[in-house]
Chains A and B, each alone.
Chain A
Amino acid sequence: GDSVTQMEGPVTLSEEAFLTINCTYTATGYPSLFWYVQYPGEGLQLLLKATKADDKGSNKGFEATYRKETTSFHLEKGSVQVSDSAVYFCAMFHNTNAGKSTFGDGTTLTVKP
């Protein structure tokens, strides 16, 4: 069945460091891929998305490229800030799956000044 596997955390970085959070998926067909971010005490917010192979989603300095050949959607940012500290969820949506999305387990990022 459909599944999303993302890098286990927690991840701790210094400010201005480079960030990569790995995400791979298993699905039949061609799902859409998303990254959501959850700040402490809040719900999730859409960070970026990509709907087909080689698409690159980007927002707030974060990027992720839909790689069909490696079934991956790794999240990257060139220079993290303290305000990026949050939990990041990789997710996919297949409109054949009764409208449900499949989420990874989340990766906690802490950025230290």
Chain B
Amino acid sequence: GAVVSQHPSRVICKSGTSVKIECRSLDFQATTMFWYRQFPKQSLMLMATSNEGSKATYEQGVEKDKFLINHASLTLSTLTVTSAHPEDSSFYICSARDRRVAGLSNSPLHFGNGTRLTVT
């Protein structure tokens, strides 16, 4: 089945530093990937849509200069949390849809295993 690899699974960084999270589709290509933040009470918040070869589309209220997204190839999107602060500590999850079926209404999302970011 379709696999999305997210790395690292866990990272601890100091306040003020930047952290990069990678999301790779291993056996399919994705023109679009999605980045979410999951809060302690479990709800998923869509942060942005990562578009291969073009700028990401950010959801309202998400700072694009703080959460930099790059989607340089059909199999890789990265999220960089810049100048991280303790309030950025969270669980970040990416997902992708196989480009071959992305236009079909029944195509599911494939999720990475998430990255637990802790900013001290």
Contacts and interface: CB of A to CB of B under 8 A. Distances in A.
B44 A106 contact: yes
Interface residues of A, number: 28
Nearest to B104: A95
Interface in A28-51: 30-32, 34, 36, 38, 41-46, 49, 51
A69 B90 CA distance: 38
Contacts of A49: 106, 108
A44 B2 CA distance: 13
A101 B105 CA distance: 10
B111 A45 contact: yes
B43 interface: yes
A25 interface: no
Given A31-B105, A34-B108, A46-B108, A108 B42 contact: yes
Interface stretch (B13-21, B67-75, B80-88, B95-103): B95-103
Contacts of A36: 109, 111
B26 to A, nearest CB: 14
Contact of B95 (A31, A44, A98): A44
B49 interface: yes
A42 B113 contact: yes
5 contacts: A32-B106, A43-B93, A43-B113, A44-B109, A99-B49
